[in-house]
Amino acid sequence: MTERISILLCTYRRRSVVETLESLAALRAPTGYTIDIIVADNDEALSSEHWVRGATASWPVSYIHAPARNISVARNACLALARNRQSDWVAFVDDDEVVPADWIEQLMRRAVDTGADVISGPAIACYPADAPDWMVDQDWHSNWPELRGPMQTETKQPQTAHSCNALMRFAGQLWEGQVFDLDRGTSGGEDTAYFFALSHMGARFAISAEAPVFEDVAPERLRLGWLAKRRFRMGQSYVSGAPGSLARIRLAGAAMAKVAYCAGAGLIALPSEQRRNFWLLRGLLHLGVLAGCCALPQPKIYGDRADREAASKRVRG
């Protein structure tokens, strides 16, 4: 019996979605599986429709309009269509990434070998020539999945995953009806919270280093300020995995100690831009954890004025 894999792709005014779709068109389906692609346009206007419908397609592509400038709305629209199709698996990829032809094969191979429900792969950043040296050397924009010990046990396993590169069992699973948090749809971290929820439902996680995707770093993201806001938000999102108030209290205590350590290390490293920025960004992550434990609102990092203007320029270009 053939199983269905639906690849979910959300887009907002990015011409790069064409390159993403072209790379998906070259995908090889694992034996016994068929592929379809669902694209949700998060813009109020149908700004991406002509790009999606005009892109090279070897697999069926469905375009849906999910206007809100809220990525969770678009993600939930993709999940709803996959649910209606009774897709056995869903895969997540971003609209500024390209995938190798064996991407799904590698993720599925890892799923079969481990029996895992969610399999993550790395998202490798491709930096422009004018990117700051310290940013490239420390590779702040790549996303490398890692194994972590869950807060409630000592077992070493992933607690979460990211929607930039993941494959997930779907139809008939306990989490089939789980949705992305709308409140996190403009701040980011909605995927972290989503996969944390799956972890608490019993989903098993694995990592496939052999299934990378590749992403060009946009010019507006080459600023220290953008990374600082993102790291702080990542810390806040991490708290969503804490299973109760006691776990949050422990997290807050650990975060305070880590913030203090990073502040001291940063002061010592002041003469070196590379080391100074490293400790600053590391400290902001832990400061974000502390803010999350205190339930402070998350900053908007997607859909703000700078990002909207940059997106508009890419559309016109």
3-state secondary structure (DSSP) of residue 198: helix
Per DSSP, 143 falls in state B
How many C-beta atoms surround the C-beta of residue 80 within 10 A? 16
pLDDT above 90 for 246: no
- Looking at the chain, the domain(s) classified CATH 3.90.550.10 span 3-217
pLDDT, position 98:
98
Look over the chain and give the mean of its residue pLDDT values, rounded to a whole number.
Answer: 89
Q: Which of 127, 132, 134 is nearest to 269 (CA)?
A: 134
Structure tokens at 213: 């995707």
| 44, amino acid identity | E
DSSP string, 240-259: GG--SHHHHHHHHHHHHHHH
User: Structure pTM?
Assistant: 0.87
Q: Is 160 exposed, middle or buried (0-12, 13-18, 19+ CB in 10 A)?
A: buried
pLDDT, position 149:
55
CATH no. for 3-217: 3.90.550.10
**What torsion do the CA atoms of 275, 281, 286, 291 make, to the nearest 10 degrees?**
150
pLDDT, position 305:
42
58-113 pLDDT, tens per residue?
999 999 999 988 999 999 999 999 999 999 999 999 999 999 999 999 999 999 99
Partners of 92 in beta bridges: 8, 166
Stretch 39-47: mean pLDDT, rounded?
Answer: 94
**Terminal alpha carbon distance of the chain:** 46
Rg (Cα) of the chain, in Å, rounded?
A: 19
Separation of alpha carbons 37 and 171, rounded Å: 16
pLDDT above 50 for 313: no
pLDDT above 90 for 164: yes
Strands (E), 121-273: 123-126, 165-169, 205-207, 213-216
Phi and psi based region of residue 213 (left: phi greater than 0; alpha: psi -120 to 50; beta: remaining): beta
Task: Place 302 in a pLDDT band, splitting at 50, 70 and 90.
Answer: low
Separation of alpha carbons 251 and 206, rounded Å: 24
3-state secondary structure (DSSP) of residue 90: strand
Per DSSP, 88 falls in state S
| β-pairing verdict for 33-41 and 205-207 | unpaired
The more confidently predicted of residues 236 and 148 is: 236
